[in-house]
Amino acid sequence: MLPASSQWVVLPLLLLVPLIGCAKSSQQERVIPLKASASMEEARSLLENYAQGSPVTSEADSFDTLVEGVRKEDPKAANILSEAFKQIKENPGSRAKAAKNALKQLPAKEEPQPAAESSE
C-alpha cells in the first residue's frame, strides 16, 4: 500500500489519465471517393431502372454527385447524364423516355475482363 500522503498525489493522476485520453478523438472522418467508373455504373443502373418504369425516389438527391463522379473520367457522358437527370427531376412522368434516350447516347458499357487462368 502507498502511504496516505502519496495517495493524494496518485489518485488525482489516475483520474486525470482517462480524461486526457478522451481529449482527442481517435476517429477521423474519412472520405472515400467513388471511382468515376463506379459512378458511371450506378448512373447507368439508375437509368436502366427508370427506362423499365421504376419510380424516382430519394436517389434523385445523389444525381449531382453521380454526374460529378462521371465528369472526372468522361465529361461528354457527364453532360448527357446531367441533362437526363434534369429532365427526370423536372418531369418524373417522362423518366422512361429520358432514360432510354440517355442510355442510347452514353458510351457502350464496358464488359468485365475474364480472370486470367493460372497454369499449374
Quote the pLDDT of residue 67.
95
For 37, residues 6+ apart whose C-beta sits below 8 A from its C-beta are 73, 110
Give me the pLDDT at residue 103, please.
95
| Mean pLDDT value of segment 11-28 | 62
Q: Structure pTM?
A: 0.62
Q: How far apart are CA 99 and CA 86, in angstroms?
A: 11
Contact 39, 70 (CB under 8 A): yes
3-state secondary structure of 82: helix
For the cut 50, the answer to whether the pLDDT of residue 34 exceeds it is no
Give the Cα separation of 59 and 55 in Å (integer).
Answer: 10
- Cα–Cα dist 98/82, whole Å: 11
